[in-house]
Amino acid sequence: MPSSPAPQPQPLTPQDLRLSCRNGTHSTTTSLTTPTVQCNLLVLPSRYAPSFAQLCARNPVSCPLLYTTLPGSKTTPLASGANLATDLPKYNVYKDGKLLPEGDGIASVEEYWTEDHVGFLIGCSFTFEWALAAAGFPPKHMLCEPVRCVPMFRTVIPLFPAGEFTGGFLVVSMRAYKEGDVAEVRRITRAFGRQHGEPVAWGWDGAKLLGIEGKVREGLVDFGEWVGIDGDVGEVPVFWGCGVTPQVAVMESGIEGVAISHVPGCMFVTDVPVEEESSLKL
């Protein structure tokens, strides 16, 4: 494993990157060199919009809601000229809470996003990774060649229900750090309150609290890619809330009709510089 992030050819601006995703010439948004705010996407029939907003309000650590479109609109002031139905690398499409075989990891959801659909942008921990790296704590998945997607786990912690969203469990992203560095890592991400903020748990006791000790010890990720935890050098797992959580809520709650999400790790890249993240309203 190299000691600094591997250089990657990347579009230089968020606009170029979104265009590359739209054209199918770029397929990941992990470890970008241009630090702007990244977002999780969930798209629902409008009748679910009030309950989903309430689900976010009741579960703000995993579901920090940053922006809600008008029904049928695929644009956002967070990203100039963006089309939310084409500018993410990959999408998932669900029908009645089940992932459609023909909607598994597709490049555009133009044909599924109707005039009745509402898009929700939710904060993402990719946003604070640049700050961790800048402070000398680059997540290990950024150091892999090629870079990997952060490992994610579905926990046994139930979401606080809201209206039709009666099912679902907290999903967490995991980054390994030395036990002695956890306090500083907590301090760094605390500032990113709209991007999951401080960790939700850490250490093996933390993994136990979340009901995922076995999966983490064996590297059995539910989403993303495994990168290892090196106990010999004192590394322990550190867990953050994750915006894949609403996807699980859609499936566990059996939300009727067509829903759309990003594919875990394939985010929407905004124009908002990470340093201006705190200007985003919750």
161 binds a second copy (CB under 8 A): yes
Q: Please pick, from the candidates 96, 190, 276, 279, the single residue that binds a second copy as defined by CB under 8 A.
A: 190
Window contacting a second copy (CB under 8 A); options: 22-30, 35-43, 139-147, 153-161: 153-161
Pick the closest to residue 223 from 145, 136, 146, 155 (CA basis). 155
Residue with tokens 């230089």: 12
Rounded to the nearest 5°, which phi and psi values hold at 187?
Answer: -60, -40
Q: Please pick, from the candidates 89, 119, 139, 199, the single residue that binds a second copy as defined by CB under 8 A.
A: 199
171 binds a second copy (CB under 8 A): no
Spatial neighbors of 193 by CB under 8 A, at least 6 apart, are 64, 278, 282
Decide if 199 contacts 185 (C-beta within 8 A): yes
210 binds a second copy (CB under 8 A): yes
Q: In whole angstroms, how close is the CB of 245 to a second copy at the nearest point?
A: 13
Q: Please pick, from the candidates 19, 100, 107, 209, the single residue that binds a second copy as defined by CB under 8 A.
A: 209
Burial of 92 (0-12, 13-18, 19+ CB in 10 A): buried
Q: Please pick, from the candidates 162, 251, 263, 269, the single residue that binds a second copy as defined by CB under 8 A.
A: 162
Window contacting a second copy (CB under 8 A); options: 57-65, 113-121, 125-133, 145-153: 57-65
What kind and span of H or E run contains 58?
A: helix 49-58
Q: In whole angstroms, how close is the CB of 80 to a second copy at the nearest point?
A: 30
Decide if 124 contacts 61 (C-beta within 8 A): no
72 binds a second copy (CB under 8 A): no
Q: In whole angstroms, how close is the CB of 54 to a second copy at the nearest point?
A: 8
Window contacting a second copy (CB under 8 A); options: 1-9, 22-30, 58-66, 213-221: 58-66
Spatial neighbors of 144 by CB under 8 A, at least 6 apart, are 1, 6, 227
Decide if 274 contacts 35 (C-beta within 8 A): yes
Residues 238-257 that bind a second copy (CB under 8 A): 241
Between strands 201-202 and 235-241, the pairing is antiparallel
Q: Please pick, from the candidates 35, 138, 197, 264, the single residue that binds a second copy as defined by CB under 8 A.
A: 197
**Three-point CA angle 228, 233, 238, nearest 5°:** 50
139 binds a second copy (CB under 8 A): no
200 binds a second copy (CB under 8 A): yes
Closer Cβ to a second copy, 160 or 214, answer by number: 160
Closer Cβ to a second copy, 158 or 273, answer by number: 158
Between strands 91-95 and 98-106, the pairing is antiparallel
Closer Cβ to a second copy, 196 or 262, answer by number: 196
Decide if 195 contacts 128 (C-beta within 8 A): yes
Window contacting a second copy (CB under 8 A); options: 20-28, 73-81, 91-99, 195-203: 195-203
Neighbours of 159 (CB within 10 A): 23
Q: How many of the chain's residues bind a second copy (CB under 8 A)? A: 21
Positions that interact with a second copy (CB under 8 A): 54, 57-58, 60-61, 157-158, 160-163, 190, 193, 197-201, 209-210, 241
